[in-house]
Amino acid sequence: MNPNFIVVDANIAFKALAAGRGDLRDRLGPTTGLQLFAPKFLFVELFKLKEQIAKAGRISEDDLLEALHALVNRLDFVNEATIPAGTWMEAYRLCKDVDEKDTPYVALALHLDGRLWTDDGELVRGLEARGFHAFYGPG
């Protein structure tokens, strides 16, 4: 496992943006050497939901766009098509009875042999029950 490869899921990205912190600096603390990844579709989701994120975080559109710019520059987006079919199948098996929408994040974590960063407790419990334990949580 590469402990420095961290896959950021949507709830982490949305919370960072709603707080106006696209760089995730406050969440990461002094940790250095981490590489943050996300599946490419997160990029589309962020733009699609930007008005809802701004409203939820009570931040201006300009502040949201600035945070979004910082976040996009901090993440390495990976094309989902580069993930092997067998990895997708394993990720789906892990996620299907928990939350299928998280399959791309789990697939990317498996593909990179990295760790998943999520604040979704139900997802964590479900994945752990199925044998997936590669999670990241800033200390």
What domains can be seen in the chain, in order of their start residue? 5-25+32-133 (3.40.50.1010)
The answer to whether the predicted template modeling score (pTM) of the entire model surpasses 0.85 is: yes
Between 19 and 127, the more confident residue is 127
pLDDT for res 86: 98
Question: Residue range 62-77: average pLDDT?
Answer: 84
Pick from 137, 42, 121, 132: which is nearest to 95 by CA?
A: 132
**CA 26 to chain CA mean position, Å:** 16
The amino acid at 20: G
98 vs 19: CA distance, rounded Å: 27
**Range with the poorest average pLDDT among 4-8, 27-31, 104-108, 115-119:** 27-31
The answer to whether the beta carbons of residues 7 and 120 sit under 8 Å apart is no
The answer to whether the beta carbons of residues 28 and 138 sit under 8 Å apart is yes
pLDDT in tens, 22-43: 556 566 554 568 899 999 989 8
At residue 132, does pLDDT exceed 90?
yes
Question: Residue range 68-94: average pLDDT?
Answer: 93
pLDDT band at 63 (very low <50, low <70, confident <90, very high): confident
Buried b (16+ CB within 10 A) or exposed e, 24-36: beebbeeeeebeb
Report the chain's mean pLDDT, rounded to a whole number. 87
The answer to whether the beta carbons of residues 94 and 132 sit under 8 Å apart is yes
Strand partners, 77: 38
